[in-house]
Chain A
Amino acid sequence: MTAIPVQPPPIAIPAPPRTTLFLLAPGLLLLFAIFALPLFGLVLESLKQYVPGRVGSAVDAPLTLENYRELATPSFAGVLYETFKLSAAASLAGLLAAFPLAYCIVRRFSPRQRAVCIGLLVMLVLLSMLVRTYALELAFGSVGVARPLFLALGISPTSRWYTETLVAAGLLHAVVPMCTLTLLGTIQNIDPRFCDAAQSLGAPAWKAHLGITVPLALPGLVSAFLIAMTFSISAFVIPMVLGKGRVLFLSNTIYTRFSDVANYPSGAAVSIVMLVISLLVLSLVSLVQRRRGSRS
């Protein structure tokens, strides 16, 4: 009897056959045409010299870093700081509110109640941001329904502190349904018996959640935070309506540069800065998460 050499079956990664390329082509072309190309144009525009009074740069304008250098000012840093401070606050608060909400929907509700809740949350996400934001303004704005209450409490609805809080609250109300929906799947995938086991081993429910549920939900919490954060950083309507020009976000600055003062190169530069910062936040957080993931 001859020995048959034992070989692992070859794992072939097939080259994409012609049909695959054919099927991918329309999507890739579209992405190139409406995403990559304009973005490249934006980068180019941000490097062109601005001529005051002119809408957009000239075709033969010389390349320069002036548009970026000009951003290194306290006022732009202030906008950056404001954007990140309020976004981070709203995202963290949103996460804190969304986690118990998602937990309750998954673990405590009947399938019917769950379906109703998820429907409501999806509706909230899809409802016009402008409508929701004006509703907030009408309720809590400087001339809103709640004004007498705030005055009675000694809070000035026109103070900077209040306006900032209002913008953060606006972001929060948009972020909570998003985070909740993101966390539903995460919590669904955590075996409820982990918590039972922890309790049978002497951990009160809150400790069991802190020591077991939260660490196991960490990947979901990170993605929910990232979604909330990237949404908040690029928010436009919320700071515009609720901030009334006193709280400026990056998006508002971009809008002003493009539309009000027609400084396209500068608007483009701010846009690129925002894009790069968003990407940095994203990669930083996912890097931290991967580190943690590889440890466990």
Chain B
Amino acid sequence: MSNAVEFHRVSRRFGAVTAVDDVSFSIAAGETVALLGPSGCGKTSILRVIAGFERPDHGTVSIGGRDVTALKPYERNVGLLFQHYALFPHMTVAENIAYGLRHRGADRREIPDRVEAMLALVRLQGFGSRRPHQLSGGQQQRVALARALATRPGLILLDEPLSALDAKLRQDLRAELKQVLAAVNSTAMVVTHDQEEAMSLGERVFLMQAGRIVQVGAPSDVYGRPGSRFAADFMGRTNWIEAQVTRRETGLARALSRSGLSLTVPDCPSDAIDICVRPENIILSAADDADQHGMANSAKGRILNVALLGSTRQILVEMAGGEQILVMQANRVGDGLGPGQAVTIGFPVDACITMPAGNPTGLAA
């Protein structure tokens, strides 16, 4: 019931712009992959090439072992979920779901049962006779999902599936989407610019930049071991410390930052390095706290400001040498951290990711 996807050296140009630049990848049958990248990086073009709306200039696309490069969209059984749902406004919910079944030649007598089953799958029983405009955004998206899955496509493509919904609803629907995708056991590709969506839905993340896939890996890998400054920045908030390696030991390096911080970090072949430290990996404590003694790296500073984000808070700390470091913490009660307070920050060696300086696409050590 699920189809593997194979992209072999595919390119697609629009005039002078190369939207997809010699891209190859494969998705295993049943796997859910998130294609992540900033807007304009070519991820939508890849989706449209797989769906058949764009013909690649070079390369081949195969779905389920069959070369589909020359096939029209309606000749491939690929489910498509649109960002703004694209439900047919002049049809009822049931007619929308039945549309694909009618055109894919399903037995007419079986269509009503199949429609009911799909409505049940997305928990919308009894909504069949409504019109799309009578539903909320989340319900519309679920109808769109039911419509896309009704024909049992071996592959489903989801274009920014949750970005049109508000934040709370997005979380609920994300979990539901994951359940439904697992239930139908279909290969899926989620195209998104939202790293949270990509990490929570994808078993693997394909990170795209300027028409190319720059990193592939499990969400935790791409987040925890970014291959470039771009990858590190795109996957989440990051502190960058520019430093020079002063001494090397087995697998470790001593480095001195511009402002005079002395750090122990994983080794890197280059002497000029950029050190990436995620804000949530930094421990912050009162200036003379003994907790920091076990840390490989610690430094003193002063709080510049505290931003509350609900369950978490971001604390900007100015180090003695002038560097500003962002710290992310759970927003616990009663420690009264505020601007001006002297603090110590600390982080272990493995919280540091080092890469050669000034090379935005360079590989990590």
Interface set of A (CB-CB < 8 Å, partner B): 191, 193-194, 196-205, 207, 211-212, 215-216, 296
Nearest Cβ on chain B to A201's Cβ, whole angstroms: 3
Do the beta carbons of B86 and A191 come within 8 Å of each other? yes
- Which residues of B are found within 8 Å of A196, using beta-carbon distances? 51, 53, 73, 80, 82, 86
Contact with A along B142-154 (1 / 0, CB 8 A): 0000011001000
In angstroms, Cα B90 to Cα A199, docked, is: 17
- Give 10 closest A-B pairs by Cβ, nearest first: A201-B100, A202-B103, A200-B80, A199-B73, A193-B86, A202-B104, A197-B86, A203-B103, A199-B74, A202-B74
Do the beta carbons of A193 and B82 come within 8 Å of each other? yes
Pick the contact of A191: B84, B104, B151 (CB < 8 A).
Answer: B84
Nearest Cβ on chain A to B263's Cβ, whole angstroms: 50
- Is B8 among interface residues, defined by CB-CB distance under 8 A? no
Nearest Cβ on chain B to A222's Cβ, whole angstroms: 14
Do the beta carbons of A296 and B90 come within 8 Å of each other? yes
In angstroms, Cα B151 to Cα A204, docked, is: 15
- Which residues of A are found within 8 Å of B78, using beta-carbon distances? 200
Would you list 26 pairs from A and B whose C-beta atoms are within 8 A, ordered by A residue? A191-B84, A193-B84, A193-B86, A196-B51, A196-B73, A197-B82, A197-B147, A198-B88, A198-B103, A199-B52, A199-B74, A200-B74, A200-B148, A201-B99, A201-B148, A202-B77, A202-B151, A203-B99, A203-B103, A204-B74, A205-B72, A205-B74, A207-B103, A211-B99, A212-B88, A216-B90
**Which of B51, B77, B103 has the most CB atoms of chain A within a 10 A radius of its CB?**
B103
- Which residues of B are found within 8 Å of A194, using beta-carbon distances? 86, 88
Interface set of B (CB-CB < 8 Å, partner A): 51-53, 72-74, 77-80, 82, 84, 86, 88-90, 99-100, 103-105, 131, 147-148, 151
**Which of B72, B74, B89 has the most CB atoms of chain A within a 10 A radius of its CB?**
B74
Select from chain B the residue with minimum beta-carbon distance to A199.
Answer: B73
Do the beta carbons of B80 and A197 come within 8 Å of each other? yes
Pick the contact of A215: B79, B90, B103 (CB < 8 A).
Answer: B90
In angstroms, Cα B98 to Cα A202, docked, is: 11
In angstroms, Cα B130 to Cα A49, docked, is: 61
In angstroms, Cα B72 to Cα A205, docked, is: 9
- Which residues of B are found within 8 Å of A205, using beta-carbon distances? 72, 74
In angstroms, Cα B316 to Cα A249, docked, is: 83
Select from chain B the residue with minimum beta-carbon distance to A190.
Answer: B89
In angstroms, Cα B86 to Cα A191, docked, is: 8
Do the beta carbons of B104 and A201 come within 8 Å of each other? yes
In angstroms, Cα B71 to Cα A202, docked, is: 12
Nearest Cβ on chain A to B237's Cβ, whole angstroms: 33
- Which residues of B are found within 8 Å of A204, using beta-carbon distances? 72, 74
Do the beta carbons of A200 and B103 come within 8 Å of each other? no
**Which of A198, A200, A203 has the most CB atoms of chain B within a 10 A radius of its CB?**
A200
Select from chain A the residue with minimum beta-carbon distance to B77.
Answer: A202
- Which residues of A are found within 8 Å of B79, using beta-carbon distances? 200
Select from chain B the residue with minimum beta-carbon distance to A215.
Answer: B90
- Which residues of A are found within 8 Å of B72, using beta-carbon distances? 199, 204-205
Nearest Cβ on chain A to B150's Cβ, whole angstroms: 8
Other CB < 8 Å A-B pairs besides A193-B86, A196-B73, A200-B79, 18 of them? A197-B80, A197-B82, A197-B147, A198-B88, A198-B99, A199-B52, A199-B72, A200-B52, A200-B74, A201-B74, A202-B77, A203-B74, A203-B99, A204-B72, A204-B74, A205-B74, A216-B89, A216-B90
Nearest Cβ on chain B to A53's Cβ, whole angstroms: 61
Select from chain A the residue with minimum beta-carbon distance to B150.
Answer: A201
In angstroms, Cα B103 to Cα A207, docked, is: 9
Do the beta carbons of A296 and B131 come within 8 Å of each other? yes
Nearest Cβ on chain B to A157's Cβ, whole angstroms: 46
Nearest Cβ on chain B to A210's Cβ, whole angstroms: 12
- Which residues of A are found within 8 Å of B52, using beta-carbon distances? 199-200
**Which of A193, A196, A202, A211 has the most CB atoms of chain B within a 10 A radius of its CB?**
A202
Select from chain B the residue with minimum beta-carbon distance to A196.
Answer: B53
Do the beta carbons of A200 and B73 come within 8 Å of each other? yes
- Which residues of A are found within 8 Å of B73, using beta-carbon distances? 196, 199-200
- Which residues of B are found within 8 Å of A202, using beta-carbon distances? 74, 77, 100, 103-105, 151
- Which residues of A are found within 8 Å of B84, using beta-carbon distances? 191, 193
Nearest Cβ on chain B to A213's Cβ, whole angstroms: 11
- Which residues of B are found within 8 Å of A193, using beta-carbon distances? 82, 84, 86
In angstroms, Cα B8 to Cα A273, docked, is: 71
Given A202-B100, A202-B103, A296-B131, is A197 in contact with B88 using a C-beta cutoff of 8 Å?
Answer: yes
- Which residues of A are found within 8 Å of B148, using beta-carbon distances? 200-201
